[in-house]
Amino acid sequence: MTSEGSGRVELLQGTLDLIVLRALTTMGPQHAYGLAARLEQIADHPFSLNQGTLYAALVRLEQSGWIKSTWQKTENNREAKYYAVTKSGARALDKQTERWQRLAGLVNKLLLEESS
């Protein structure tokens, strides 16, 4: 995994999808900007992510039927596309989270053994 300069991170493809799905589940329906702001907040770093990179993840999730989108007005009367988690999305989150934890556990174990 390469990381570009200026502290920006590129993520494993499936990882970003999982993060977005999780964020939408906890926050409720949200637009891409809102999501990006939330992710930056969690990451503790204002520009850790090109906000544009979210769109590929969003379209993947939507095509899989895990989230659905509608155009709505924001509080400031701007229009924005809001994304919400579907029922199958909620089920998928459980499954993918479990998978991720298993994978992370495995990677951690490998890394520890390699370095010892």
Contact residues for another protein (CB under 8 A)?
Answer: 31-34, 36-37, 47, 50-53, 55-60, 63-66, 74, 76, 78-81, 88, 92
**Residue 100 phi/psi, 5° resolution?**
-60, -40
Q: What HEC string does 42-62 produce?
A: HHCCCCCCCHHHHHHHHHHHH
State which residue, 53 or 97, has the beta carbon closest to another protein: 53
Whichever of 26 and 76 has its CB closer to another protein, that residue is 76
CB of 76 or CB of 115, closer to another protein: 76
The backbone torsions φ and ψ at residue 31, rounded to the nearest 5 degrees and listed phi first, read: -90, 170
Are the beta carbons of 92 and 66 closer than 8 angstroms? yes
- Between helix 32-43 and helix 13-27 the angle, nearest 10°, is 100
- CB of residue 68 vs another protein: minimum separation in angstroms? 12
Closer to another protein by Cβ: residue 28 or 52 = 52
